[in-house]
Amino acid sequence: MASERYDSCWLRYEASIDDERLESYRRRCLHVYASDGAPELGVVREELRRGLEGVFGREPHLWHHPPRSADGFLAVGLPDEMRPITESVDVEFVRSLDDDGYLIRAVEWEESDCLVLTAPTDTGLVYGTFHLLRLLATGEPIDDLEIVEEPANAERIVNHWDNPFRGLVERGYAGQSIFDWERLPQLDERYADYARLLASVGLNGLCVNNVNTKIPGREGANEVVSQQAGWQLLESANLEKVAALAALFRRYGVRLYLSVNYASPMLIGGLDTADPLEPAVEEWWAEKVAEVYDLIPDFGGFVVKADSEGQTGPYDYGRDHAEGANVIGRAFEPYDGRVWWRAFVYSDHEDRAVQAYETFEPLDGAFDDNVTLQIKNGPIDFQQREPVSTLFGAMPETALGCELQITQEYTGQGVHACYLVPQWKEILEFDTHAPVEGSRVADLLADTPGQGIAGVGVVGDDPNWTGHYLAQANLYGFGRLCWDPDLESETITDEWVALTFGTDPEVRETVSRILLDSWQAAIDYHTGGIGLIHMMYNGETALENHYDPSPEEWPEYTGVSEDGIGVDRSSSGSDYAGQYREPLASRYDSPETCPEELLLFFHHLPWEYELADGTTVIQRLYDGCFDGVERVRVLRQRWRSLEGRIDERRYRHVAERFDEHAHQAVRWRDTLCAFFYEYSEIPDEAGRIPIEEC
């Protein structure tokens, strides 16, 4: 990236490539014939110039016609645009690809070794360009290339929880917001670099503000909250700021979205109600959406958090969520955009886990075509591990989106290394059995317009973008999985490491192992590893801490008592298990068949209940917490083995984080073990717990 202000992340283009490979790259890519009609093609040329210069150590030659050189060349354009492409590919086939798809092929054209990169749209060319540069920057062979790519998910979106005009990011651990709304429509070069990062991993949407657009009725909470002002982005005067950003991101194929407040007709429109069945409200939304499309013709849509955690919603008017969402959905009918309506709705209830399903499943089929139901991956809230939400598979007549959290709210925030790709793989590969065996979450989402994946953003104005340097891998992996959920975690990880830290095999292997083992470590010391959740500290301020250990605060989530631990969500309890299709419902319903890693999520069990291998629940919890700390120490040790093999600045940053991470893991372990002991009064068999000191 051009700037000294911040890191280039995985777009460093600093490969060290052996001579033979470099020679093959030179032959096919030092000369580039690229069309330059549309704005996206400016991006393609710019990126090729940058990437190829990184690879070759000198500027490539960019041509507007087939270059006359002894070598071959790279041809980039639409399939019918230039002879080298038209004569090398099946034009109709390329046109039939998904709009974001592309084809890259090594060919011989007029006796030269060439590469052609073509796509049905200019956006496809942008994605293809990043793909090709990824191959070159990691030293992959290109002489036999034959790549055809299409994204699995139509919608691949990042949801920022930024609070505009305040600079703050809710659950952001990488500093202030990168978007400066006071200065906009004036643009900052960092916005373009952010767009490059998103496009390079195949993302196509960005919601720029927090779903908490306003917190009415929570006065007395701290000032920060009462000042949240995201709802104002929909005011006419602010839309030009949004439009300026949209114009920039558009060049990279990224569409903009806004989180809007359900009471906008009142807050902005001056109406005295936001009742979705009120004609004036319907008219207001239609006019507002038309105004947005006048300025931003490719606008993506609205994200709405309604009737949740203090946000207004249809319940305020005695309406259900379909009525609530449809009034906005209808406003999008004339356009290619939609409402992403969040299913994160809960209230005081004995078991929060059952609520989203109880609220939304009966409404299947009632949502407008322009509404997508955005469902968090699990029934609670981005815990270290949760079962997959029962809504996946339960709403075949509704467009669905899966919400993941890229930022590490409950997994160590900006301090702990926790690579979430393995978690997301587990979620996306989960077999819902709906309607039949083999129906994975990934399959339910894929290949349907208006469906896909939204990830809660992680980026802030920290020079390294993500707070913890290794957290860049989560953004990278999120994009790659949205594009292709069938990619293996190991493949994605290896790509990121090679692009970010280079191709030294030892570095590649070591950093990959650190990342791939980090999630299990986080599960173990945060939970003990058999399905407990939600044992973090909350605190009194509006923006709860969610970082430090504080298990005693949450008896309703741990089900702790003197006779045992875990929450009964089986048929003898809240019956969350019963919301799954068979055979899942029966499997989770019995502690004998429930997978151990979720056991205490579904069951309240005696402390001395014996697990399959004869270990008791209490002992397994102690062991899990201790294992977690050991795992973190191993990660830290592996990182330390890299000293001198990667640059000092990045080495130090991560090494320091690991020191603190190890310290925090011990705090979690000791707090949890003391808590378990306090209730069970059963000591650790291994005598490791200095209980008196806790």
Q: Interface with ligand GCW by CB under 6 A: which residues?
A: 161, 170-171, 210-212, 305, 309, 344, 381-382, 409
Cα 56 to Cα 50: distance, rounded to the nearest angstrom: 10
How many angstroms separate the CA atoms of 125 and 134, rounded? 14
Active site residue 309: yes
What three-state secondary structure class fits 549?
A: strand
What is the smallest separation between the CB atom of 219 and ligand GCW, expressed in angstroms? 18
Measured from the Cβ of residue 135, the count of other Cβ atoms closer than 10 Å reads 17
Three-state SS for 562? coil
Give residue 487's identity as a one-letter amino acid code: L
Task: Give catalytic status of residue 381 as yes or no.
Answer: yes
Q: What's the CA gap between 282 and 103, in Å, rounded?
A: 44
Nearer to ligand GCW, 409 or 623 (CB): 409
CB contact at 8 A, 192 and 248: yes
Residue 404 or 511: the one with the smaller Cβ distance to ligand GCW is 404
Give me the least distance between CB of 176 and ligand GCW, in Å please. 17
In the complex with ligand GCW, the residue whose CB is nearer, 352 or 604, is: 352
Burial of 633 (0-12, 13-18, 19+ CB in 10 A): middle
Least spacing, CB of residue 344 vs ligand GCW, in Å: 5
Contact (CB, 8 A) for 183 and 233: no
With respect to ligand GCW, which residue has the nearer C-beta, 56 or 161? Answer: 161
The nearest distance, CB 477 to ligand GCW, in angstroms, is: 20
Query: In whole angstroms, how close is the CB of 58 to ligand GCW at the nearest point?
Result: 47
Say which of 381, 490, 575, 630 is annotated catalytic: 381
Helix (H) or strand (E) holding 400: strand 399-405
DSSP for 607-669 reads TT-B-TTS-BHHHHHHHHHHHHHHHHHHHHHHHHTTBTTB-HHHHHHHHHHHHHHHHHHHHHH
SS3 480: helix
The closest of 151, 77, 59 to 114, measured between CA atoms, is: 77
408 or 510: CB nearest ligand GCW: 408
- What DSSP string runs through 305-338? --SSTT---GGGGT--HHHHHHHHHHHTTTTT-E
| Tokens, residue 153 | 């998910």
Report the nearest approach of ligand GCW to the CB of residue 403 (Å): 8
Annotated active-site residue 397? The verdict is no
The catalytically annotated residue of 36, 59, 272, 309 is 309
Q: Which is nearer to ligand GCW, 138 or 210 (CB)?
A: 210
- Positive or negative torsion for Cα 353, 354, 357, 359: negative
- Region of 262 on the Ramachandran plot (φ > 0 left; ψ -120 to 50 alpha; else beta): alpha
Instruction: Choose, from 149, 155, 409, 461, the residue flagged as catalytic.
Output: 409
| Full DSSP string of 484-534 | -TTS-HHHHHHHHHHHHH-S-HHHHHHHHHHHHHHHHHHHHHHH-SSS---
Angle, nearest 10°, between helix axes 617-640 and 505-527? 150
Cα gap 489→485, rounded to integer Å: 9
Q: What is the dihedral of CA 385, 391, 392, 397, to 10 degrees?
A: -170
Shorter beta-carbon distance to ligand GCW: residue 309 or 437? 309
Q: How far is the CB of 158 from ligand GCW (least distance, A)?
A: 14
The nearer residue to ligand GCW, 77 or 467, going by C-beta atoms, is: 467
- Between 344 and 392, name the residue whose CB sits nearer to ligand GCW: 344
| C-beta of 126 vs 208, nearer to ligand GCW | 208
Q: Please enumerate in sequence order all residues whose Cβ is within 8 A of that of 352, keeping only pairs 6 or more positions apart, or say none.
A: 346, 379, 380
Identify residue 374 by its one-letter amino acid code.
Answer: Q
Q: What is d(CA 393, CA 449) in angstroms, rounded to the nearest whole number?
A: 17
CB of 376 to ligand GCW, least distance (A): 7
Supply the residues annotated as catalytic. Answer: 309, 381, 409
